[in-house]
Amino acid sequence: AQSVTQLDSHVSVSEGTPVLLRCNYSSSYSPSLFWYVQHPNKGLQLLLKYTSAATLVKGINGFEAEFKKSETSFHLTKPSAHMSDAAEYFCVVSDWSGNQFYFGTGTSLTVIP
Amino acid sequence: GAGVSQSPSNKVTEKGKDVELRCDPISGHTALYWYRQSLGQGLEFLIYFQGNSAPDKSGLPSDRFSAERTGGSVSTLTIQRTQQEDSAVYLCASSPRLAGGNEQYFGPGTRLTVT
């Protein structure tokens, strides 16, 4: 079975400092992994995805994530937080068919001015 | 191009009434998903449609919930005899169902409030 664990329900950083949102996955095959962002009262927007190509994936708004098979992790990072990054972030894994998606419980990111 | 659209954006209904929520996926996307997001919670999978295959209804919480997808495009989620615990944001997503790694494209959601 596939599953995703987001290790922090809430992360708070100061503006201009690095962001790290942690995600561990469980999968019996080579997974596809995604990060989505949800701003208040908005729908979910894809930040980036990993599909067995390069292990370091670059996404929109300066975010990137590294797929580490040995650690079953797919942590999301950004070198310098911006106030507009304050949102809810979801880590997602898809099943072998690419049909079903399994969402983490989300990490709420607060950016302190 | 046009993204996934959902209507209505907000719906307030009285307990016991039936409601219908509509989703228009991106043209050409063969896969369509419904999720529920309660306040401060993650996404709860409800149902999945893929082309002409039988839908995966494994996430529907009770028999008061049903969904259909007509002509492989527009989908309607129906909740009968609504209860207060049905209050949530209902999100629809579509996917092009290419080979593995296809992402989902989400609509803005319908906020349902049951009074």
User: What pLDDT band is residue B99 in, cutting at 50, 70 and 90?
Assistant: low
Give the pLDDT mean for B44-58.
Answer: 89
Give B46-105 as a DSSP string.
EEEEETTSPPB-TT--STTEEEEEGGGS-EEEEE-S--GGG-EEEEEEEE---SS-PPPE
A45, A48, A50, A51 alpha-carbon torsion, rounded to 10°: 60
Q: Which residues of B touch A (CB under 8 A)?
A: 4, 31, 33, 35, 41-43, 45, 48, 50, 56, 91, 93, 97-109
Cβ distance of A101 and B105 shorter than 8 Å: no
Cβ distance of A43 and B101 shorter than 8 Å: no
Q: Over 80: is that where the pLDDT of A31 sits?
A: yes
Residue-level pLDDT at A2? 79
Q: Over 90: is that where the pLDDT of B15 sits?
A: yes
Q: How far apart are CA B112 and CA B115, in angstroms?
A: 10
Q: How far apart are CA B2 and CA B24, in angstroms?
A: 10
- The tens digit of pLDDT for each residue in A37-66 reads 999 878 899 999 998 778 899 999 999 999
**Runs of H (alpha helix) within A1-113:** none
Which residues share a beta bridge with A38?
A44, A88
Residue-level pLDDT at B102? 78
Percent of chain B with pLDDT strictly greater than 90:
68
User: What pLDDT band is residue B41 in, cutting at 50, 70 and 90?
Assistant: confident
**Distance from the B16 Cα atom to the nearest Cα atom in chain A, whole angstroms:** 26
B98 HSE (CA, 13 A, CB side): 7
Give the pLDDT mean for B97-115.
Answer: 84
Residue in B32, B34, B43 to test binding to A, most A beta-carbons within 10 Å: B43
Classify the phi-psi angles of A70: left when phi > 0, otherwise alpha if psi is within -120 to 50, otherwise beta. alpha
Q: What are phi and psi of A24, to 5 degrees?
A: -120, 145
When mean pLDDT is compared across A21-25, A65-69, B71-75, B96-100, the lowest value belongs to B96-100
Residue-level pLDDT at A94? 86
- The tens digit of pLDDT for each residue in A92-105 reads 998 777 778 889 99
Residue-level pLDDT at B92? 96
- Tell me the two tokens of residue A93: 């894994």
Q: Over 90: is that where the pLDDT of B42 sits?
A: no
Q: How far apart are CA B17 and CA A35, in angstroms?
A: 36
Give the pLDDT mean for B82-96.
Answer: 94
Task: Find the angle CA(B109)-CA(B65)-CA(B34) to the nearest 5 degrees.
Answer: 35
Q: What are phi and psi of A28, to 5 degrees?
A: -90, 5
